[in-house]
Structure 1
Amino acid sequence: MGQQQNLFDDQQAEWELDAQQQRRVASIVIASGPDGAFDYDTPEGFCDAERPDRLLVPGKRVSVPFGRGNRLATGYCVAVETKSVDPSRLKPLARVLDAESLLSPAMLRLTRWMAEYYLCPWGQVLEAVVPAGVRSQAGTRQVKLLHVPPDVKARLGEIKLRSKQQAAALKKLATSDRPLTATELAKEARCTTGPVQQLLKHGLIEATAARVVNNPLDELIPDREQPLELNSDQQKALDATVAALDAGKSRGLLLHGVTGSGKTEVYLQAIEHVVSFGRQAIVLVPEISLTPQTVRRFRARFDSIAVLHSHLSNVERHLHWQKIARGEVQVIVGARSAVFAPTPHLGLIVIDEEHESTFKQDSAPRYQARDVAWQRATAEGIPLMLGSATPSLEAWQRAQDDPQFELLSLPKRVLDRPMPDVLNINLRDPGQAKFGKGGISRQLHQAMQVALRDQGQIILLLNRRGYSTHIQCPGCGFALKCKECEISLTYHRQHNAALCHYCDHEEPPPKVCPDCRSPAIRYSGQGTQKLEDEISSRFPQHTVVRMDTDSMRKHGSHEEVLSRFRAGEIDILLGTQMIAKGLDFPNVTLVGVVNADTALHLTDFRAAERTFQLVAQVAGRTGRGSKGGRVLVQTLQPEHPAIAAAARHDYLGFAAAELASREMLQYPPFGSMARIVVRGPDEEITRATAEQLADRVRKAARELEGATLAVRVLGPCPAPITKLRNEFRFHMQFQSATIEPIQLALRSATKSFRAPAKVRWIVDIDPWDMQ
């Protein structure tokens, strides 16, 4: 029996060998399907180089039969190769969806790295990288483009046509440098479309379906500006950047410059060097809608820039994408997703205010734009410049330890202007309570009076939206919370509603306590709306404007308010953290931080770092002009190291102390982290699922060989925000010296894990938000 079985196996192998053919096989990643690439046969119709609209190359999207039912699914072609296969075992491609490749080979490699590093399906990464407006070809219309076949062109002089209009149309199309529509050809040949249709009928011309752009982009180009003269520190930083650019190698550059030190001018002149030899630059900013002056400065220095941000329509985004891919754009300015701009000649990537949390994506793929930018810079052999007055501790430590990174310093403001004086106001002082129940202390009120008397402008920071931050009964202790999130609702006086800032749940504010019916229910805490009312009543002769996500919903509202503030039409600008960054107004002589403690005690190991950055950044908005400036910081903890260091403008001192604490606890940048959050509508089932998943990770971690691969598993336990959008949340945290063992353990533990119905879980590598 064994011999007969071997003979049968040999015969089957021979039959399979005979059945194999040399075929072009395409590797397809399904956009919204299981992870991994699937092989498909490529029929001859998709191999014709003379038909670029049908030719299959990596980076194009395709329609393929998928699964047992052979439903048509959209996928991305990631590779095409010729190999010996049995074509009967492969399903054929159904259709090529794109006339041009959407992703270069380099971008395909980058997306594969992202999928592996962030433990996210490759298809999901590809969908995130290619904007929806590009995938839908927004701003285009389907037309039929006419061309003359090569065999007809070859015998053009021999063809005799009875109609002069047909002959004229055929000659015009044959000599045209591009395909034409029937209407365009009729216009060129000065005839109706009838002769054109006859040429089509007789096969002398052919029609191909294609998409064309409806409207070009109209951009307002401001007056050109000349480069500014650099001081010695700026010149040293620029020289080091130019040397890195000319070396033609990947290099990390951390530009640490105090607020007002002229970092943007260094970026601009470095990019001018890049553009001078035909290359392109990508500039990432934290929130493009809040930094119109940055965009204006770039438009005034370069012939062609593209701006990519969330306020663009799909049509605008698609048109920008096309211009960038054609190499027609010198500089791309945008938020974190602009790191994927399809630049064919990239020469430099700049990330301004690199410490900002907005560079971390909060949905899958949960990437950090700074790390993705470094991967892209490394692959393309170009420098990456990170700039900040308060660098992230990860970037700062890397500049100290990594030979591939270099620290560039701008320790002084331009024109040697002094840093503003900072005064911490202790709100624990009983004397502060005597001045009133509002959010403004006596010292801050007096400082505002002086600033306004001297024709200066004021910025006030309060990082809390709404009017009252919580509603509570002093009698029975009842607190009004969101029914779906169990988070205190915030009272918004403008709409007379109690709102949840996490799920947008809204309900009428109670007039009496819902539990004990006491009419003494209290609206406590202060948000930006209440602060606006207080400032308006204290300074009725002056113009007060609030900037937060509630007041800035209208398209273009940020630009309008900041333009009015720049023009001096607004005396006092108050708002949340959106006013703490990217603003350069020389007439601001006073900055007030109404409550510096809002983020200080969050259950997050970065709480102190974020508090220091926020206070230091908003303090830097003043003292940029000849009038100078000062900063008043109201706090319950003036002695806290983060607040005390920010008052001294002492980043080096803060970083040294905070890094020592991080090293002791093996938090980043001295160790790597990941986080899993499990959520579901049933608390016990969700908790059990989290415990099961944690046990699987512990088991997988134990199976890793070598002491250096140890993974510490913390949890699961209820997340700081225990309930969100009517789902209970449990989280667990993983720590290790490097990220690789965490990735190995998580990949092994989650590979075959199936959560119960309605229970979901996410993996976050290098988490930024611990709530």
Structure 2
Amino acid sequence: MRNVKQLSLFSGLEDTSPAKHVLVAKVVFESGPEGVFDYRVPKTFVGRIAPGQRIRVPLGKSNRFVVAYCLEICEQADNPQLKDIAAIIDEAPLVTSALLRLAQWMAEYYLCPLGTVLETVIPACVRNQAGTRLVPHYRLAPCSDGFPSLTEKQARVVAALLEAPGQRLSRDALTRTAGCTTAVLDNLVKRGILVKEMARIRHSQPDATTLPRQERLILNNQQQEALEIIQEAVSTGEYRGILIYGVTGSGKTEVYIQAIEYVVKKGKQAIVLVPEISLTPQTVERFRSRFDYVAVLHSHLTDAERAAQWDWIASGQVQVVVGARSAIFAPAPHLGLIVMDEEHETSFKQEAAPRYHARDVALRRAQIEQIPLVLGSATPSLESWYRTQQGELTLIRLPERIGGRTLPAVKPIDLRQPKHSRASRGVITRQLHAAIHEALENGGQVILLLNRRGFATHVQCSACGYVLMCPDCEIALTHHRSFSKVLCHYCGHEAPSPKACPECQSAAIRFSGVGTERLEAEVKARFPEATCLRMDADSMRSREAYERAFRLFREGKIQILLGTQMIAKGLDFPNVTLVGVVNADTALHFPDFRAAERTFQMVTQVAGRTGRGPHGGLVLVQTFSPEHFAIQSAVRHDFEGFAAQELPIRMAFGYPPISRLVRLIISAEKELEAAGWAERVARSFSKSLSQTGRPDAARVVGPAPAPLMKLRGKYRYHIQILGKDESLIRMLVRCGLQCLEEARQVSWVVDVDPVDML
């Protein structure tokens, strides 16, 4: 910056003329150089630019035009080096000031460029103005001497604009209202009476479907106490974090709905987050039967539909926003409450930059907006549970099911016993087979959970032992019989299923392991008279597939519903009398410190899908580890007992939630390059930590090969940094990343609070 007071080259006297002040926009780029940059606001743009809008600015010596986000408008001394803003892209800000502050926090916390964060906060369909078109609009020009010599039609045009909202109308609306042709408008423009402007209008309107009104349910004493705590928090107008720990079927959703009714009566809006797209249809139905204006945000909407919902929410007309992870960024201008159902679910974590967790973002947004945040789960995450112990969240317990119904009996089946081996002729044991038969005979419905897709989880030659691997990931390929292909579920690689061994050409090829596709075939063979439906990522590809599947199951047209974890949570079907967990060990022995927690949550959640009706329910859990405390706790529906055993283990090793964790993954096409750079960065971490004078304040683990060492053609090494001081950990990571600025052949990922350790 040049000093305003400069010496005159001609007089030798100090220039004492007052500095000229101009309006300056502080911006960040959509992509490109990081940091905040200043640009001068030309006089023609004064009053038209606001924080949250996108603008086009010149960058670099070539002055190429790039897109930037305006963060702030301020007045400061003019600087001849400042460049002028070239154009305004958006007519109005795309985000509220609260969302802009949230994005700035996310950039700092998740160590991600602010431009990248804003690209996530504002959906691409909104930035691209999907579902809109440019249409001529007209407004009255300032006329000091009134509107002289108007014909009758011209007078009707002027009168229509004077009565219009904002004194502006589209061409079609104006000609229709005034009963004239466009020639009349063109004549008024030539005379300087009208101003013609191009503006966008939406050609598709949001779906504001309402369902037949459902009666307000009567709460039991525990639900009523929970509701009163939330209402009190809403009334204070301050942030408050609340965790509802309620067993499956305890009526958490009805508490949410009545709390939101209280919020809506106060003229406020609510955001309700659900973890899976599969839960959205049922949740939306519940809310649309109680509220008039419910918006929906999830990935299965078209771009035009999503953009229409976004604009509708921003207008302030929407009462409730229901959606998956990204709905936390809904631009609600009168937000009064955030509810996050099934808060323990890992799908709330985004695995692409910025790698945010919706729970932490929701907590921060609630703090910024000074509103309550309600988290709910029958199996809370240990992060949220630990926060209740630290006094950061208020704990509400709902320990009983509504209507006095008991929790279903859960019985483990030990797969190690000889009677459950090959004599069972498949993956369904004799005990589970008999229970399915009995449930169907009594008119009940059955849910079978197997958290593995495909027909066979690996393909192996019994002659030479060769296993068919993904060439890019070095992971066993999964056989999908319906496609006659083998697929990699990580990178998408596919190939025809082999009829002979690619290595020795033997025909002794074996398709081993069990996925949902093979389970479906076995169920249909064992129970040919029963109607069966499979729900997994392969069978639920279309937007309508989820709605159709749940509708058929609810109507009783499907007797056996089987699938992956998408059927394990949040669903309420009173006629389900049996749940079978085909293999409870699919995640129990993963190289992940959360393996036990996820197994407990999965078994407990799917168990909660039964026993919700008058006929009770039974849960059978097939496992090779029936004595494991995660399985035993799930059998007893004992979350607090599980947490009491798991938290000391986390504390002993310093893992979350006791401390914060940042994972750095370094990838390269050559293993030696990935390993070498990982070692160099780890040394940098250790050196920076020692220089702080607090060597015990954090712990550097690694580098080591990642559990999935080769993925998408690259070798991966990872380093973990653990500690309680968030700012210290972020400082260490930034110092370490400076080493990688010289790296040309490697790529890296910084994952703050990771949930996937593979």
TM-score bracket, shorter-length normalisation: over 0.9
Deviation at 1:292, TM superposition (A): 1.6
Distance 1:725 1:192, change over 3 A: same
In 2 relative to 1, CA 477–292 (structure 1 residues): closer, same or farther, beyond 3 Å? same
Alignment equivalent of 1:392, drawn from 359, 370, 381: 381
In the alignment, which residue of structure 1 is the partner of 2:661? 673
1:85 aligned residue: 78
Q: How much has 1:195 moved relative to structure 2?
A: 2.2
Query: How far apart, CA to CA, are the structure 2 residues paired with 1:591 and 1:441?
Result: 14
Contact residue 59 and residue 101 of structure 1 kept, 8 A: yes
The answer to whether 1:759 aligns with 2:751 is no
In structure 2, give the amino acid aligned to 1:119: L
Match of 1:111 in 2: 103
Determine if contact 1:280/1:346 at 8 Å carries over to the other structure. Answer: yes
The normalised TM-score by structure 1 is: 0.95
| Per-residue Cα deviation, 1:559-614 (whole angstroms, up to 9, x for no partner) | 10111000000110000000001111000000000000000111100000000000
Post-superposition Cα deviations, 1:124-151, rounded to whole Å, max 9, x if no partner, equal 001100011111111111122111112x
How much does 1:271 deviate? 0.7
- In structure 2, the residue matched to 1:32 is 31
Instruction: For 2:742 and 2:517, locate their aligned partners in 1 and report how far apart those are by CA, in whole Å.
Output: 43
Report if the CA contact (8 A) 2:689-2:695 is conserved.
no
Contact 1:289 1:309 in 2 (8 A): no
2:7–2:15 contact (8 Å) kept in structure 1: no
Identity of aligned residues (%): 51
Task: Name the structure 1 match of 2:587.
Answer: 599
Distance in 2, Cα, partners of 1:17 & 1:416: 84
Question: How far 1:434 moved relative to its partner?
Answer: 5.1
- Asked whether the 8 Å contact 2:280–2:322 carries over to 1, the reply is no
In structure 1, what is the Cα distance between the partners aligned to 2:44 and 2:755?
Answer: 48
Where do residues 701-720 of structure 1 align in structure 2 (5 Å cutoff)? 701-706=689-694, 710-720=697-707
* Aligned-partner SS, 1:729: strand
Bigger CA drift: 555-564 or 101-110?
101-110
Question: What secondary structure, in the 3-state scheme, does the structure 1 residue paired with 2:336 have?
Answer: strand
Question: How far did residue 741 of structure 1 move?
Answer: 1.1
For 1:60, the equivalent position in structure 2 comes to: 53
Give the distance between the partners of 1:100 and 1:251, measured in 2 at CA.
32
- The equivalent position to 1:653 in structure 2, one of 621, 641, 650, is 641
The 5 Å alignment of 1:588-667 reads: 588-667=576-655
* CA shift for structure 1 position 180: 2.1
Q: Give matches, 1:365-514, under 5 Å.
A: 365-402=354-391, 404-433=392-421, 435-514=423-502
Match of 1:742 in 2: 729
- Is contact 1:675–1:731 with CA below 8 Å preserved after alignment? yes
Instruction: Give the superposition deviation at 1:175.
Output: 4.2
* Compared CA separation, residues 751 and 209, structure 1 to 2 (3 A): farther
Deviates more, 1:577-586 or 1:199-208: 199-208
Are residues 218 and 307 of structure 1, via their aligned partners in 2, closer, same or farther at CA, if it must alter by over 3 Å? closer
1:59/1:77 contact within 8 Å kept: yes
Q: Is residue 233 from structure 1 mapped to residue 226 from structure 2 by the alignment?
A: no
**What TM-score does the superposition give when structure 2 sets the normalisation length?**
0.97
Alpha-carbon distance change, 276 to 191 in structure 1, aligned in 2, over 3 angstroms: closer
CA spacing shift, 1:490–1:707, aligned 2, 3 Å: closer
Q: 1:165 to 1:442 in 2, by over 3 A?
A: same
Instruction: Return the alpha-carbon distance in structure 2 between the equivalents of residues 377 and 536 of structure 1.
Output: 49
Say yes or no: does 1:100 pair with 2:92: yes
Residue 217 (structure 1) aligned to one of 206, 217, 224: 206
1:155 and 2:145 aligned: yes
Quick check: 1:557 aligned with 2:545?
Answer: yes
Q: Which runs of 5+ in 2 are unaligned?
A: none
Corresponding residue of 2:191: 202
Tell me the CA shift for residue 156 of structure 1: 2.1
- d(CA) in 2 for partners of 1:516 and 1:723? 25
Name which of structure 1's ranges 434-443 and 366-375 shifts more when overlaid on structure 2.
434-443
For the 8 Å contact 1:145–1:179, the answer to whether it is kept is: yes
Counterpart residue number, 2:43: 44
Q: Is the 8 A contact 1:290 1:559 kept in 2?
A: no
C-alpha spacing 1:198/1:291, structure 2 compared with 1 (3 Å):
closer
- Aligned partner of 1:176 in structure 2 is 164
2:312 matches 1:313: no
Change (3 A) 1:766 1:249: same
* Residues 1:16 and 1:103: Cα distance change in structure 2 (over 3 Å): farther
* In structure 2, C-alpha distance between the alignment counterparts of 1:687 and 1:508, rounded to whole Å: 34
Q: Residue by residue, what CA displacement relative to the aligned partner does 1:694-723 show, whole Å, maximum 9, x if unpaired?
A: 222222222224356x22111111111111
Query: Is the 8 Å Cα contact of residues 460 and 572 (structure 1) preserved in structure 2?
Result: yes
What is the CA deviation profile of residues 281-328 of structure 1, one whole-angstrom value per residue up to 9, with x for unaligned ones?
Answer: 111000133342211010011111101100111111111111111110
Q: Which residue pairs with 1:544 in the alignment?
A: 532
The 1:228/1:719 distance shift into structure 2, 3 A limit, reads: same
Return the letter of the residue paired with 2:475. I
For the residues of structure 1 that align with 2:343 and 2:708, how far apart are their CA atoms?
A: 27
Call closer, same or farther: CA 1:419–1:172 in 2, change over 3 Å. Answer: closer
The within-5 A match list for 1:130-149 is 130-149=122-141
Any idea what the Cα deviations from partners look like across 1:149-198, whole Å, max 9, x if unmatched? 12x2x4225x124x544344344334433312334333333232222211
> Are residues 371 and 280 of structure 1, via their aligned partners in 2, closer, same or farther at CA, if it must alter by over 3 Å?
same
SS at match of 2:672: helix
- For structure 1, the residue ranges without an aligned partner over 5 or more in a row are 1-5, 49-54
- Looking at structure 2, the residues matched to 233 and 104 of structure 1 have their Cα atoms a distance apart, in angstroms, of 37
Are positions 1:349 and 2:338 aligned together? Answer: yes
SS in 1 for 2:486: strand
- Residue in 2 aligned with 1:3? none
Say whether the 8 Å CA contact 2:456–2:518 is kept in structure 1: yes
Instruction: Identify the range of structure 1 (303-312 vs 206-215) with the bigger mean alpha-carbon deviation.
Output: 206-215
**Which letter maps to 2:405?**
R
Shift of 1:688: 1.6
* Structure-2 residue corresponding to 1:290: 279
* Whole-angstrom distance in 1 between the partners of 2:411 and 2:595: 22
CA shift for structure 1 position 103: 1.6
Q: In structure 2, give the amino acid aligned to 1:92.
A: D
CA drift at 1:112: 0.6
- After superposition, the Cα gap between the structure-2 partners of 1:474 and 1:303, relative to the gap in structure 1 and judged at 3 Å, is same
Structure 1 residue 731 and structure 2 residue 718: aligned?
yes
Residue identity opposite 1:473 in structure 2: C
> Which string of whole-angstrom CA distances, capped at 9 and with x for unpartnered residues, describes residues 520-549 of structure 1?
221111110111010001000110110000
For 1:291 and 1:103, locate their aligned partners in 2 and report how far apart those are by CA, in whole Å.
Answer: 24
Alpha-carbon spacing, 1:675–1:755, altered in 2? closer, same or farther (3 Å)? farther
Cα pair 1:118 1:367 within 8 Å, conserved:
yes
Equivalent residue of 2:338, what SS? strand
Matched residue count = 752
> C-alpha distance in 2, partners of 1:208/1:695?
61
2:256 is matched with 267
| Aligned residue identity for 2:252 | K
Partner of 2:348: 359
Looking at structure 2, the residues matched to 726 and 567 of structure 1 have their Cα atoms a distance apart, in angstroms, of 46
Taking only aligned residues, the RMSD between alpha carbons, in angstroms, comes to: 1.8
Cα distance in 2 for residues equivalent to 1:719 and 1:107: 35
Which letter does structure 1 place at the counterpart of 2:241? G
Q: Return the offset for 1:492.
A: 0.4
**Alpha carbons of structure 1 residues 236 and 171: separation in structure 2 relative to 1, 3 Å:** closer
